[in-house]
Structure 1
Amino acid sequence: MLVCCLKRKKNLLKMSLQFDYTEKVVLITGSSSGIGESIAKRMAELGAFVVITGRSKENINRVANECLQLSPKKSKPLEVVADITNDDDAKRLIQSTIDMFGRLDLLINNAGYAQVTSVFDPKSLETFEKVIRLDVRATINLTLMAIPYLEQTKGNIINISSVCSLKPLVGFYGYCMAKAAIDMFTRVIAMELGPKGIRVNSINPGGVQTNFFTAIGFNSEQVMQQEEYLRKSSPLGMMGEPNDIADLVAYVGSNHAKFMTGSCLLIDGGALFSSLALAT
């Protein structure tokens, strides 16, 4: 009798942790590589209609084909080549989503840009403006366009932030400031949109194995050095993987997190509380 009860409780627990995004429309910016790609694939696995967007048509097509294969009902993703810092492209991205699916349930603001912005770099102010334009302005702009549709579905917004919003990354004041702005944007609009039934949260990753440093322009040796340092900055002695972030996104965007809004969720391997800085 006891064994049967334990098995039943175990089965109920397993069932309660299932995430069902069947026919939910999920738009993920910057989803042609890295964390965004992993999120798109996870959503496709969970039955969502996904919108893949980025600047590389080839990468978008590759991710879309992989999502198609992962989708339980072989739902074809919407592919949109767009530069979301361009207002016309941003409008086209939202309108294409609505034209294709007729709704929007989850907006994931993942696209981001990072470059060295050291106070000793004479071009740091110019670089700072580029970082803010994508990481902050484009995120806000796309969110404002999406709100009317999210209100109809009682959907939600997830902003991909960073541990760098809370812990300095030496030589990257632009990126750190941008992510701190996103955290505050998350909190403020969560208060405004809550009465409309829209939840807003951010996820703050630490070091994750992506092309982050390569995109910045670091050579292979520099990438290895930085990744090793990031491992040391975590009490767990490791970096995260894109799937780790996708797993948390799946929870936060689901009904299991229906009481969560205005939260900034760290997933950084403990780096925030490490005595080591995030860069040397």
Structure 2
Amino acid sequence: MSIKFDYTDKVVLVTGSSSGIGEAIAKRMAELGAMIVITGRSKENVHRVANECQQLSPKKLQPLQVIADITNDDDARRLIQSTIDMFGRLDLLINNAGYAQVTSIFDPKSLDTFDKVIRLDVRATINLTLMAVPYLEKTCGNIINISSICGTKPIIGFYGYCMAKASMDMFTRVIAMELGPKGIRVNSINPGGVRTNFLNAIGLNTEQVSQQEEYLRRSSPIGMIGEPNDVADLVAYVGSNHAKFMTGSCLLIDGGALFSSLALATSS
């Protein structure tokens, strides 16, 4: 029996949906009939992704576009309120927005970077979730946190990002226990190496990115590097009723990298 995912009439908010994995998730949800909230800091990218989502939507539904920095409490509040004002409900919150940067114990300035990583990857996720819960309770909705293999596997030179993702995984587990009685499921998806702008964002040049992607591919037992759509497909399953018995789970999608010698070029 083939599984068909149907998000018709579901309202899905994807943070960090103007590029990368978040963009792929938003597009997959649009294809499946959902009403999408696209948000990010770049007006140009938010507008582009929203237009592409509308074209993918079976009913050509126009996504809500919200330009916001979710580390700003007022912006986060406006994001949730705009969603409710527009659609009157929220069914699925996907906490995807994140920030990564080199944080080495040998860098005396790394604490400043650590604060930035934690502010977006942990605090902003918690804050937005707190605001969303009352609406998710009304719809028996669910939450999916996009974490990382780095929450489980230590990466030299990235103590900040690894700690942030480990925190997100534990947040997932704890609130799954608290929100389960309210009918809200909470799960985490933990990608390994995925071909996005992540490596560029942490400072690698074009040649280094190519080398690192090849290393990630070879480090996988199945000889693959992930694509954003691989994560989007898993999100579609976890957020659907087909996964109704799943909550508090942290799901690796890493090509087997957890058991490999995975590392980043900047750590060598």
Q: 1:256 aligns with which of 238, 242, 245?
A: 242
Distance 2:204 2:170 in 1: 30
Distance 1:142 1:197 in 2: 18
Q: 2:252 aligns with which of 238, 258, 266?
A: 266
1:27 has 2:13 as partner: yes
Percent of aligned pairs with the same amino acid = 83
Distance 1:233 1:165 in 2: 18
Q: 1:148 aligns with which of 107, 128, 134?
A: 134
Distance 2:107 2:211 in 1: 22
Distance 2:154 2:254 in 1: 14
Q: 1:278 aligns with which of 240, 247, 263?
A: 263
Equivalence for 2:44? 58
Alignment of 1:90-101 (within 5 A): 90-101=76-87
Paired amino acid for 2:125: T
Question: CA deviation digits over 1:179-206, x for unaligned, max 9?
Answer: 0000000000000000000000000000
Q: TM-score, normalised by structure 1?
A: 0.94
Alignment of 1:130-209 (within 5 A): 130-209=116-195
Distance 2:191 2:230 in 1: 9
> Which consecutive residues of structure 2, in runs of 5 or more, have no partner in the other structure?
none
1:125 has 2:111 as partner: yes
Equivalence for 1:113? 99
Equivalence for 1:3? none
Paired amino acid for 2:262: A
Paired amino acid for 1:109: N
Question: CA deviation digits over 1:199-240, x for unaligned, max 9?
Answer: 000000000000001111211122112212211221112100
Paired amino acid for 1:278: A
Mean Cα deviation higher: 24-33 or 221-230: 221-230
Equivalence for 1:246? 232
Equivalence for 1:216? 202
Paired amino acid for 1:91: R
Q: TM-score, normalised by structure 2?
A: 0.98
Partner-residue secondary structure (3-state), 2:190 = strand
Q: Are the counterparts in 2 of residues 167 and 278 from structure 1 also a CA contact under 8 Å?
A: no
Distance 1:159 1:233 in 2: 25
Instruction: Report how far residue 277 of structure 1 moved.
Output: 3.2
Partner-residue secondary structure (3-state), 1:265 = strand
Partner-residue secondary structure (3-state), 1:158 = strand
Cα RMSD, aligned residues only:
0.7
Distance 1:277 1:57 in 2: 35
Q: Are the counterparts in 2 of residues 38 and 242 from structure 1 also a CA contact under 8 Å?
A: yes
Question: CA deviation digits over 1:153-188, x for unaligned, max 9?
Answer: 000000000001111121111000000000000000
Distance 1:37 1:169 in 2: 26
Q: Are the counterparts in 2 of residues 233 and 278 from structure 1 also a CA contact under 8 Å?
A: no
Instruction: Report how far residue 249 of structure 1 moved.
Output: 0.1
Q: 2:213 aligns with which of 200, 224, 227?
A: 227
Larger Rg over CA atoms: 1
Distance 2:28 2:75 in 1: 25
Partner-residue secondary structure (3-state), 2:6 = coil
Question: CA deviation digits over 1:239-264, x for unaligned, max 9?
Answer: 00000000000000000000000000
